């Protein structure tokens, strides 16, 4: 019987996350070029890895069109100057794109089909807005397969407030303010400098460096966001202040088998313990991480109390509060998103997963007694993803 091999996360980088649209830093930058820059930087940082030893390149995008179309992994591999013997492919699981790229690559390593994998994601939401060119099958609504609100992420967040009335707008706003303050501190103390790759970009005013998250507002206060409009419902509770903005960005990670890491002089940071994807009601997609987390812990034979750090995506503050409520974790828990999250830095859909893993790796390294970390997020159309990691 074939024995599966262990999979290790060696390194991961991301771009700064920019505001989507003509006013954003990446408006004139191609999506695939963003990914190429990161691949080259990842190889520079891990100089003992010969490019020909890369066995596959897996890249995710939610909108697989235009400059993030083709077979994106192969496209990026060729543009980055990897040998033509290195294959690549694209995946899509919307917000869980990069995490799915990681698990797809991990499967190759575990089965012995590969030793070294690059896995990441990119989303240029300015060039390719969410749902652009999407033709929903009319049966979804005509046959009541899903609630119409499932197609609008902001409406699904409002649905969470309806389903869990104990999760108030005041709590969501307070969580959002905390996210900005924590990310601002992470930039000040050098956490982000370890994973964010500055890159030169051309803008309407000429060349400049994209080296910081455009949505970050360090001075955010409850008073500043309390009375913002509720665009998804009159009198609603979801605002621009307690949600992640539309974002452009890219990420990529380096995965390896234990033997390859040793042979190539690579230094793994994390071991992949288990992973899980779960389905939930599409109109309540924000609860997806709850069953995914429960399942991933069951696979590993662990309890949540044994996990030392949580990186949970923040498309909406109420979604994080829903996970906290379902898992019995206080939103103030120091293990939860210690460096802020998507409300402060943005959420470029398919790219976000690697950001979560990179931050878990940093958090576990900074806590000498820490052993396990969880990365989790909700996924459009009613899904959740959770990956459990062990510090090496």
Confidence of residue 109 (pLDDT cuts 50, 70, 90): very high
Does the pLDDT value for residue 167 go beyond 90?
yes
Does the pLDDT value for residue 21 go beyond 80?
yes
CA 316, 93, 359, 311 dihedral sign is positive
Confidence of residue 140 (pLDDT cuts 50, 70, 90): confident
Which pLDDT score, from 0 to 100, does residue 354 have? 98
Instruction: Specify whether the CB–CB gap between 42 and 57 falls below 8 A.
Output: no
Tens digits of per-residue pLDDT, 307-337?
A: 999 999 999 999 999 999 999 999 999 999 9
Q: Which is the catalytic residue, given 95, 180, 324, 345?
A: 95
- The angle, 0 to 180 degrees and rounded to 10, between the axes of the packed helices 289-300 and 317-327 is 40
Is 95 a known active-site residue? yes
Does the pLDDT value for residue 136 go beyond 90?
no
Which pLDDT score, from 0 to 100, does residue 92 have? 97
Report field, pTM of the whole predicted structure over 0.85: yes
Tens digits of per-residue pLDDT, 241-275?
A: 999 999 999 999 999 999 999 999 999 999 999 99
Token output for 276: 């899980």
The CB density around residue 265, as the number of other CB atoms within 10 Å, is: 10
Confidence of residue 1 (pLDDT cuts 50, 70, 90): confident
Q: Which is the catalytic residue, given 128, 161, 180, 347?
A: 347
Which pLDDT score, from 0 to 100, does residue 17 have? 98
Domains and CATH numbers, the chain: 147-190+273-391 (3.40.47.10)
Is 345 a known active-site residue? no
Which pLDDT score, from 0 to 100, does residue 130 have? 83
Is 324 a known active-site residue? no
């Amino acid at each position: 019987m074939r024995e599966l091999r262990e999979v290790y996360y060696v390194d991961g980088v991301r771009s700064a996350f920019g505001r989507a649209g003509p006013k954003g830093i990446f408006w004139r930058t191609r999506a695939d070029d963003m990914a190429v820059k990161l691949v080259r930087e990842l190889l520079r940082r891990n100089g003992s890895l010969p490019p020909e030893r890369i066995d596959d390149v897996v890249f995710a995008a939610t909108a697989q069109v235009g400059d993030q179309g083709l077979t994106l992994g192969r496209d990026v591999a060729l543009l980055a100057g990897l040998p033509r013997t290195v294959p690549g492919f694209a995946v899509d699981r919307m917000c869980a794109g990069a995490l799915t790229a990681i698990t797809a690559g991990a499967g190759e390593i575990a089965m012995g089909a590969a030793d070294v994998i690059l896995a990441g994601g990119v989303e240029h939401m300015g060039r390719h807005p969410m749902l652009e060119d999407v033709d929903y099958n009319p049966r979804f609504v005509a046959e009541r397969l899903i609630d119409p609100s499932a197609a609008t992420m902001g409406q699904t967040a409002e649905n969470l407030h309806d389903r869990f009335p104990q999760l108030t707008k005041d709590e969501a706003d307070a969580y959002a303010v905390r996210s900005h303050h924590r990310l601002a501190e992470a930039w000040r103390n050098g956490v982000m400098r370890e994973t964010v790759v500055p890159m030169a970009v051309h803008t309407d005013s000429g060349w400049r460096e994209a080296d910081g998250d455009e949505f970050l507002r360090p001075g955010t206060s409850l008073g500043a966001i309390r009375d913002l409009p509720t665009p998804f419902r009159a009198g609603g509770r979801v605002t621009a202040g307690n949600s992640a903005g539309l974002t452009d960005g890219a990420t990529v990670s380096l995965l390896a088998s234990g033997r390859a890491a040793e042979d190539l002089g690579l230094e793994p940071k994390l071991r992949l313990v288990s992973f899980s994807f779960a389905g939930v009601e599409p109109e309540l997609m924000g609860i997806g991480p709850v069953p995914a987390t429960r399942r991933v812990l069951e696979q590993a034979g662990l309890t949540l109390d044994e996990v030392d750090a949580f990186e949970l995506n923040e498309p909406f503050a109420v979604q994080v509060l829903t996970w906290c409520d379902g898992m019995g974790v206080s939103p103030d828990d120091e293990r939860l998103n210690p460096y802020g999250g998507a409300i402060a830095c943005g959420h470029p859909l398919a790219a976000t997963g690697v950001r979560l893993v990179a931050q878990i790796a940093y958090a576990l390294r900074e806590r000498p007694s820490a052993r396990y970390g969880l990365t989790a997020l909700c996924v459009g159309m009613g899904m959740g993803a959770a990956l459990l990691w062990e510090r090496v």
